[in-house]
Amino acid sequence: MGSAGRPRVRYAFAMPLLTFAVGLAAMVAASPARADFRVCNATQNLVGVGIGYRAKAGWITEGWWHIEGSSCKTLIEGPLSSRFYYLYAEDAERGGRWDGPINMCVAEKEFKIAGVSDCVARGFQRAGFQEYDTGEQASWMVQLTDDPATGGVPAAPGTNSQ
């Protein structure tokens, strides 16, 4: 076969490999973008986070997600079903908080509470949540920074993380 046969052998192996690589790249490009509601803790301290949202059955608040310093957690997986979400967070080490003017119910330990009225009468605590208008995006991310953790100042605006 000589040297004239070698290039054909190389091309014979290269074509299936190239076809596989192009197909794999097309599958990766065609896969849907990840959609969720994430909170990133840009501080060095442990933070506890609660979220509120409107579901078909009414208002729901859930918590606590514990987010280590310099890390992120997904609070809601999958495409967002509401336009508005509400967030409350506490710095577990320094005692600061990220809050807002919207009152919702929270509990001392892990919770999922239906309804936002009569918190104290129902055995819960009332906390002020910050509203985030996601603009009906499928994905959103809020970053908690050191500056607002002084008690009462809202976190940095959320962003569409797609």
What CA–CA distance (Å, rounded) separates 53 from 84? Answer: 7
Mean per-residue pLDDT pooled into runs of 10, the chain (162 residues): 49 38 38 76 96 95 97 94 95 92 97 97 98 92 77 47 46
pTM here is: 0.72
What CA–CA distance (Å, rounded) separates 144 from 50? Answer: 13
149 near 94, Cβ under 8 Å? yes
Chain centre to alpha carbon of residue 66: 13
- Beta-carbon contacts of residue 21 (< 8 Å; ≥ 6 apart): none
- The phi and psi torsions of 7 (rounded to 5 degrees) equal -60, -35
